[in-house]
Structure 1
Amino acid sequence: MSSTAHSPSEASPLLRAHDLPQSYDAPEPAVPLSPPAKVSNADLAWVLAGLWSAVFLGALDGTIVATLLSPIGSYYNESNRSSYIGTSYLLSVCCFTPLYGRLSDILGRKGAMLLALSLFGFGTLLCGLAPSMDALIAARAIAGMGGGGVMTVSSVAVTDLIPLRQRGLYQGMTNILFGLGAGLGGPLGGWLNDSFGWRSAFLLQMPILLFSFILVIAKVNIKLPAEIENQPIRAKLRRIDGLGSLTLVLTVGCLLLGLSLKSTEELPWSHPIVWGLLVASAVWCVLFALVESYVAPYPVMPMRLVKQRTPLAVSLSNFFGSVAAFSMLYNVPLYFSAVRLNTSTDAGKWLHLLPHSVAISTGSVFAGWLMRRTGKLYTLTLASCAMTIVATTMVACWNDNTPQWHLWLDIVPQGLGMASVITTTLIAMIASVVKEDLAVATGITYLFRTTGQVLGVSLSGALLQSVLTSKLRERITGPDAFEIIEAIRHSTSVIPDLSPPLRQAAVQSYADALRIVFICQAACNFLCFLCCLPIQENPLPGTHEEQEAQYRKRQNSGSSCSSEETMT
């Protein structure tokens, strides 16, 4: 047999099957591929309206709730627990996001999207009616169970409808709507709270949700392969990886809860709850890997995918890139309020992110347009990663002498680059797997992305407070030092009212702490760049027919490799 027959392919795992113990985690039996989904332009517009309105609502909801944390805490007289409203939602989103990839293959795209919208809507309705803070926190967790599926299922459905070469452009449009929703959420939430009370911000989301629900029922009719479509409900339910889903939820939940408690409750790393949750996360992670490798017949995260070159590279690059991006998003406004002291309003410090927000939308659409025009993504991905490294390096160099125009424009390459990376890597992931793994692979991508987002906020907050506390203790001494330091750590609004020596100490301490955080962001972006290097350049089909032919070719290639390894 010629040597070319043994050359590694993208569909081949990094470890050969005969090097591993026998497990259930082999490629699923090949089923005849369903014909490509074809819809008229009018129906496509309605389908996208249903899917994208849900994406818009999810982004809108996130920033609306962030704006309402203070009024809600004051209403219940439990401001010290208001941060749990956001934490419970993010934990739930991260835990349940990857499950929808498999669910969309079992329930169908319509069924999975309706489940996500139902959970999100039910949780949001309960938030508007919550009689207590505990009930509101629980309702946000329920909403997160659905919110985690909205982006995943909509992405999978659009991939079914749009040829891969055009897919990036549509992803860019999705990101524009997401950014629009996130941008409008803050002002809208404040206006609704002032005019009608905070409950209205939840209840008035229901009409948009109902609009999306009706359109999904009426227009999203993407067929699964007949072997799955015609199965009875009981057979479909048996395909759900219950044990794998449970261990995955516990792995991610314990990790994020431990880090969130470390930052929000300011517990030390040595606290039994913090290290206990982190150890529990590691134990559940090992059990999850064992379940997915040896127990689950239809794993929620097939280990054979994680062992492949491009899926692994895409997952890790999305993780490190999201850590850096969300750390930047939360810490740049802090720099302007704590170090520059050039604004006294919340709106002012966030205004500096406006060019960044525009860059995110522009970068995503530009990446989609360029992939559609050239059919290539590898060089674009690396160039985009390089832009993020340049941006975070420039931000880390900010000092008292940095001109104002630098403060406005230095973060723009971060927005351009990361939006492009998120778009190109998603297309790289989709182009590297067989059709049967498309939904699961998309879910894995969103899992790493959302986990990175939460860790970016939690870890940067913990690092900032650790360095800040150390610097403040060096610079502020005396009988009232402890009270002054605690006041500075908990609110930047007290800094302008301090005496000149104390104000200078606070500003310099924040500058030192934020510089360390910005350097770590640059390091994460560099790791993102390294993770993008192994990504393989696969052809991007321009039509449904070309895409179907590519799926069949990859499926046949994977079957040939499996047969050959079995013979060996």
Structure 2
Amino acid sequence: MAPSHAADERSPLLQTSPAQSDKHDLEDPTKLPKRKRNAILVAVWLGVFLGALDGTIVATLISDVSSSFEKSNQAGLLGTSYLLSTATFTPLYGRLADIIGRRNALLIALALFTGGTTLCGLAPSMVSLLVGRLVAGMGGGGLMAVSSIVASDLVPLKQRALFQGLANLFFGAGSGLGGPLGGFVSDRFGWRTAFLCQIPVLLLAAILVFRNLRYRIDGQGKSKREMLRRIDYLGSLTLVISLGSLIFSLSYKNDRNLPWSSPLVWAPLISFVISGIAFGLVEAFYSAEPVMPLRLLKTRNGLFVAFANLTLSWVSFSILYFYPLFFEIVKQNSASRAGAHLLPNSIALSVGSLFAGYIIRKTGRYYWLIVITSAFPVISLTSFLFLNESSGWFHSWVAVLPSGFGFASVVTATLIALISSVDRADMATATGLTYLYRYVGQVVGVASSASVLQAILTAQLKERITGPGAAKTIERIRHVATSIKEMPPAVQVAARTSYRNALHGVFGLNLGVAVLCLLFTLPLREYALPASFAEEEEHRRQRNGEETPPGVAEST
């Protein structure tokens, strides 16, 4: 076949001399031996494991950590600060991976994640802890996004779902171990150790990535300086201002119990709207390489995959952060036992992703898989509405299973639905788009759920706790949730009932969002999934109306 000079997703954006290529003996990623390919994938998937581990560790320790600084009313910021930086920086990794290579991009992500995690473990105040979470989020999203891009480099599209399922197996294992491990370490050694014990494993991951993630990306590209200029800095800035303004407004509204008429509440909301509009205009008319490529959103699958990922991630991460709170505060479980309630969810994540990967690889179809499994979170959230102090094993351990299974299946299959509808040159960008909407959903979902929790909790506490000193007691409960067990029995009952009702409000909000997710999956279109790179190239030519070059057999 005649060589092609068209730049695609594999095209290097830096010119590499023959001497440099020979020096590292780099190979074509599509022709790597299975042993080397698998070594690369395990190295990058270890980063996925660590990112998931950290997420559930923090979700489990959210009450202990915030209470230690007497900031329980700001507990939601531990999640939103991380997710805010993740949502902003993750889309840049697709471009960065093209400019400096997959390995260097992943090493930068690991360095930021390690630095942020270290700062969290040593944080002297809530503010420094939140800064640590922001820094960790800059790297955490890269761990996920670059691993997905690497898999697209190495695996044909029809097999991609199975390998994404294997990646989600690492994610599920990290999620499953994070809750019990974080609770166990916190109960015995303190919550700081739960952060610091991750550092040696992160260093090991960096070594494995450095040693194994080496392969050539063929083609022609642009200069490093030109590509750095094409990074969407303005789009990223307006995105972080928009999301940050929303979080700031909701936080002030509930942390300080301010009215909507307060400038500290409505002014950030105006900033959110203005910067959001600015972000859309920048993406549409200014950025050469936009963070959110609107041309992909103009396609049916691009638009509805984005919305489905946003709403599903909203629901999934709200469950991750607020489901354990029910057991730790309402049922007064230890942190380790509360975290253990996420274990079934993590098992379901692993099973759901492998199931989706197997079905897609076996049948080459994904539409009905997406539609059916997107209904599973609706089942879980409906059952959560009946959680109470006397709930048995079903509500405590089984009810969360459909949510984890559905989330893993849908995110695996919708990624395939999107990248099957675009050229290989757009696959990295399309992958970044799905992660952008997932992280936006996560940050808005956790922030909105925290806002609903605090609003209902405050109203419930004022209704149930009256008399002298009531205001001080209410503020103590809101700021230091772990102090409930030290209060008089009557106050304990009032506080636990208030938290139960507030959490029911959170679950009700997320039930509505889960139904929206289901509706967003219905208009998706199904595309053929090539079983080899040659067939994938032939599909691309057919879609673009190109002729098959002489000597290249057409796929059947």
Task: Please state which band the TM-score falls in when normalised by the shorter chain.
Answer: 0.7 to 0.9
Equivalent in the alignment of 1:271:
262
Does the CA-based 8 Å contact 1:426-1:442 persist in structure 2? yes
Does the CA-based 8 Å contact 1:95-1:253 persist in structure 2? no
3-state SS of paired residue (1:474): helix
| 1:252-401 matches, cutoff 5 A | 252-264=243-255, 266-339=257-330, 341=331, 343-398=332-387
Does the CA-based 8 Å contact 2:79-2:446 persist in structure 1? no
Equivalent in the alignment of 1:430:
419
**What is the CA deviation profile of residues 495-554 of structure 1, one whole-angstrom value per residue up to 9, with x for unaligned ones?**
567667655544544443333322222211110011111111111222222222223333
Cα distance between partner residues in 1 of 2:87 and 2:286: 23
Are 2:270 and 1:245 aligned? no
Does the CA-based 8 Å contact 1:124-1:202 persist in structure 2? yes
Shift of 1:304: 0.8
Equivalent in the alignment of 2:135:
142
Cα distance between partner residues in 2 of 1:129 and 1:505: 35
Cα distance between partner residues in 2 of 1:135 and 1:427: 39
Cα distance between partner residues in 1 of 2:34 and 2:87: 34
Equivalent in the alignment of 2:532:
543
Are 2:226 and 1:235 aligned? yes
3-state SS of paired residue (2:375): helix
Fraction of identical pairs, as percent: 47
Does the CA-based 8 Å contact 2:121-2:192 persist in structure 1? yes
For the structure 1 residues 357 and 131, does the alpha-carbon distance in structure 2 shift closer, same or farther, using more than 3 Å as the test?
closer
Equivalent in the alignment of 1:565:
none
Cα distance between partner residues in 2 of 1:516 and 1:79: 18
Equivalent in the alignment of 1:7:
none
Are 2:221 and 1:208 aligned? no
Q: Mean Cα displacement is larger for which, 363-372 or 285-294? A: 285-294
**What is the CA deviation profile of residues 428-484 of structure 1, one whole-angstrom value per residue up to 9, with x for unaligned ones?**
111122212211111121111122222222211211222233233334443343344
Cα distance between partner residues in 1 of 2:525 and 2:228: 35
3-state SS of paired residue (2:420): helix
Equivalent in the alignment of 1:516:
505
Q: Mean Cα displacement is larger for which, 497-506 or 160-169? A: 497-506
| 1:59-138 matches, cutoff 5 A | 59-64=52-57, 87-125=80-118, 137-138=130-131
Cα distance between partner residues in 2 of 1:336 and 1:271: 34
Q: TM-score normalized by structure 1?
A: 0.81
Supply the AA of the counterpart residue of 1:300: V
Are 2:31 and 1:38 aligned? yes
Cα distance between partner residues in 1 of 2:253 and 2:77: 13
Superposition CA RMSD, Å? 3.4
Are 2:156 and 1:163 aligned? yes
Does the CA-based 8 Å contact 2:300-2:523 persist in structure 1? yes
**What is the CA deviation profile of residues 52-82 of structure 1, one whole-angstrom value per residue up to 9, with x for unaligned ones?**
1111222233444566778877998999988
**What is the CA deviation profile of residues 144-194 of structure 1, one whole-angstrom value per residue up to 9, with x for unaligned ones?**
222221101111111221122222222222222223223334554566678
Does the CA-based 8 Å contact 1:337-1:492 persist in structure 2? no
Q: Mean Cα displacement is larger for which, 140-149 or 203-212? A: 203-212
Equivalent in the alignment of 2:14:
none
Supply the AA of the counterpart residue of 1:237: L
Does the CA-based 8 Å contact 1:127-1:139 persist in structure 2? yes
Cα distance between partner residues in 1 of 2:395 and 2:183: 30
Does the CA-based 8 Å contact 2:346-2:404 persist in structure 1? yes
Supply the AA of the counterpart residue of 2:104: G
Shift of 1:289: 1.7
Shift of 1:383: 0.5
How many positions carry a matched residue from both structures? 525
Equivalent in the alignment of 1:153:
146
Q: Mean Cα displacement is larger for which, 46-55 or 104-113? A: 104-113
Cα distance between partner residues in 2 of 1:36 and 1:551: 19
Supply the AA of the counterpart residue of 2:166: M
Q: TM-score normalized by structure 2?
A: 0.83
Cα distance between partner residues in 2 of 1:463 and 1:352: 22
Q: Mean Cα displacement is larger for which, 367-376 or 262-271? A: 262-271
Does the CA-based 8 Å contact 2:253-2:260 persist in structure 1? yes
| 1:416-565 matches, cutoff 5 A | 416-490=405-479, 505-556=494-545
Supply the AA of the counterpart residue of 1:389: V
Shift of 1:337: 4.5
3-state SS of paired residue (1:98): helix
Q: Mean Cα displacement is larger for which, 144-153 or 212-221? A: 212-221
Q: Mean Cα displacement is larger for which, 494-503 or 362-371? A: 494-503
Supply the AA of the counterpart residue of 1:251: S
